[in-house]
Amino acid sequence: MNLKNLKIILPLIVAIGLIAISGLFFAQTFPINTATTISEISPSATPVHVGFVAVSPVCEMGDSACLTTVKEISHNVYTNLGMNATRDFLFHGATGTFNVISVGIVNTSQVVTDRCLANATGAGAICKDWTANGLTQIAGTVTDIVSGGGVDFGNVSISKTFTCTDCTNTVINGTGLYNTTTTGVSSANGLKMFAEANFTSATLQTSDQINVTWFIWTQ
């Protein structure tokens, strides 16, 4: 099973309060009406091939060279139980699971070597995740996605509403999904960023709220 085949849907950002009427604060990569609510977003429930299996020929005992050759390659089917196991391991464990959401500022391109927001990859580099005034990174609510009365196997959302307690023109335009709330520096022990995304800048004042919901579709 290749975890790179997890479909990570860019987080849905919904602002309420004094920012604006409810709306989307980024250009999504899939068609959606701005009147759509979070609960109406649903993935396909069809398992697909996510990798392959290589099998050697039948070899005589001791023929190590033969065992390294490939006779056949076939695709695997990602089963419902396998998708659920992936979801549960990554997002439902007691510790070290990827359910912590941050918001902050992204001033550089996102790259696969990022360890926190703003591409702070070096030891001791300062991340741009907000860490105070109600915008501190925090575990979100993890929900298995259910659509049409049936479970969409392996699919999950992680959601958190942030309330800015002391903000004056505070800008956010990025979010990260982590395994720990220690996101102040990129070299923090045990820190792992699962994914990150940017969106059109939102400016918060005191008591403004913004909802960030990540969708992870394990297919």
Mean pLDDT by 10 residues, the chain (219 residues): 50 41 28 60 59 85 89 83 87 84 82 77 68 90 76 83 93 89 64 87 92 85
Asked if the structure places residue 35 within a domain, the reply is yes
Asked if the structure places residue 31 within a domain, the reply is yes
Asked if the structure places residue 200 within a domain, the reply is yes
Give the strand order in the sheet containing 138-139. Answer: 138-139, 100-104, 170-178, 193-204
Residue 206: which domain range?
Answer: 3-45+94-218
pLDDT on residue 147: 67
Closest CA to 19 of 131, 163, 139: 163
Tokens read off for 49: 């091939």
- Tell me how far apart the alpha carbons of residues 64 and 57 are, in angstroms, rounded to a whole number: 11
pLDDT on residue 207: 94
- Tell me how far apart the alpha carbons of residues 197 and 53 are, in angstroms, rounded to a whole number: 32
pLDDT on residue 19: 30
Q: Give the pairing of strands 170-178 and 150-163.
A: unpaired
Handedness of CA 120, 99, 201, 207 (dihedral sign): negative
Asked if the structure places residue 104 within a domain, the reply is yes
DSSP-assigned letter for residue 135 = -
CB 211 within 8 A of CB 199: no
pLDDT on residue 111: 80
Asked if the structure places residue 62 within a domain, the reply is no
- Tell me how far apart the alpha carbons of residues 173 and 214 are, in angstroms, rounded to a whole number: 15
Closest CA to 218 of 47, 39, 32: 47
- Tell me how far apart the alpha carbons of residues 210 and 130 are, in angstroms, rounded to a whole number: 14
pTM comes to: 0.77
Asked if the structure places residue 75 within a domain, the reply is no
Asked if the structure places residue 25 within a domain, the reply is yes
157, 164, 172 from 192: Cα distances, Å: 19, 25, 21
CB 199 within 8 A of CB 15: no
CB 129 within 8 A of CB 117: yes
Q: Give the pairing of strands 193-204 and 138-139.
A: unpaired
Asked if the structure places residue 58 within a domain, the reply is no
Q: How many domains does the chain have?
A: 1
